[in-house]
Amino acid sequence: MWKRRSGSAGWWWRQGKGSVVNTLEPRRSGRKCSEKNRVSFRSETDFFIQDINAGLKDEAEIPEQLVPISSLSEEHLESLIKKLRKASEGLNSTLKDQIMSHPALHDALNDPKNGDSATKHLKQQASILGNIEKLKLLGPRRCFVEFGAGKGKLSHWVDIALKDAEKVHFILVEKMTTRFKVDGKHRKKNSVFERLQIDIQHLCLNKIPVLSKEKLPVVGIGKHLCGVATDLALRCLVETYAASCEERNEEPLAKRIKNDKTEKEINPLAKEGNEKSVPEKWTPVAGIVLALCCHHRCNWRHYVGKEYFKALGLGAVEFHYFQRMSSWATCGMRKTSLEASNITTTRKDHQNDDSEEHDDGRYRITDDSAESLPGFLTVGEKKKIGKLCKLLIDQGRIEYLQQKGFSPALQYYTDPMVSLENVLLTALPNHSSSPETTA
């Protein structure tokens, strides 16, 4: 039934026991809600499977109580740092610069009305879009799944860049109710936007009709996907979705070759001259492009790199303290005014913080490990340790993707003056012909 939400001009739809799944655009005075004003929505129960992307729960691995870093003895902390440095030996701590742009954002970037914050967000979106294009993922007949979509601006710019590309679908995943969404304003006939209000932990992509019926290759994207949400998104794409698709579509090699040949004969997009616009063959996940964020919000159960940590002789305890110490990477750049204190305590545990105060180089979400830093370490040493923690956690994700048949890479996608969280994780399936596949 339709119900008016208290204190709101919008209308909400409730179905059975499912939660509110989406909003319609605010109803204008004197006008009835019409089909053209409706944002595509679907009941959460259609694609909800409890904890499908959560990972295995092993209570024996997780200690009952872990004290804050500020309560650790100096000897204990030194032991943890020693383990960190040993585990990080051989890792390349200097990532490649892949700071890019895209002509789709040229006018927006040069708009004189932009403030500093708007400009910094646009620079990040432009670089992410440029990296998507460099990986040959920007083309027709694809489904872009934006995790932690917030207002949907990243998908918006992807759609602008695609112009009149055929058969493009966008699925925007966001667990929070979001105001000022831009996806409801799109009216291109070749693009379809669908917004899902759900925690990534419970999202089953296989149950979304456009993916189960039309077999559009999925491109997973995200801008500042906070902590644990990155691991949930990776498992959602390459384990829950891709693995099940491959199981359903197993067929003899001769039949696959025949089907590929038939597809080229009947599909005009696959003819000579258009090979760069479509994947060489259908693959469940064509690529992944995620801007990483907030490693201190990771947790052991959901982390995809547990096997990597265990191979290094590390476990849940070390992971807990490493993810807490990861906030030291920006400990020297925290604004100490009352204004910053008020801002950084407003939003917690969101999969994507659309306000992104931590992006502009002045604000930083705080935690107990960052507020009570050990006195025997200098600020420079703390920053190096924090960066090592981030690198080690991300390396576990790299190892996970390699084991799942992908060629992943980490790179800097924006200047630290634009965003302190400036690392981009990309991955292509191993059979991809793109040259950008070195880890």
pLDDT in the model for residue 124: 98
**Is the distance from CB of 425 to CB of 288 less than 8 angstroms?**
yes
Residues 6 or more apart in contact with residue 165 via CB below 8 angstroms: 139, 140, 190, 277
Nearest to 306 by CA among 51, 54, 52, 49: 54
pLDDT means per 10 residues, the chain with 439 residues, are: 45 38 38 41 74 82 78 92 96 92 96 95 98 96 95 95 92 88 77 92 92 91 93 95 70 42 43 43 88 94 96 95 93 44 39 45 39 70 94 98 96 95 96 47
Beta strands, E only, 183-320: 191-196, 218-226, 285-293
pLDDT in the model for residue 41: 53
**How far is 390 from 73, CA to CA, in rounded Å?**
23
pLDDT in the model for residue 376: 76
Write the burial class of residue 385 (CB in 10 Å: 0-12 exposed, 13-18 middle, 19+ buried).
buried
Kindly state the tokens that stand for 304: 């995809």
Q: How many other CB atoms are there within 10 angstroms of residue 418's CB atom?
A: 21
pLDDT in the model for residue 281: 59
The reported pTM is: 0.78
Write the burial class of residue 248 (CB in 10 Å: 0-12 exposed, 13-18 middle, 19+ buried).
exposed
Task: Locate all alpha helices (DSSP H) within 236-302, ordered by sequence.
Answer: 242-248, 253-266
**Cα dihedral 93/222/283/157 (nearest 10):** -120
pLDDT in the model for residue 344: 37
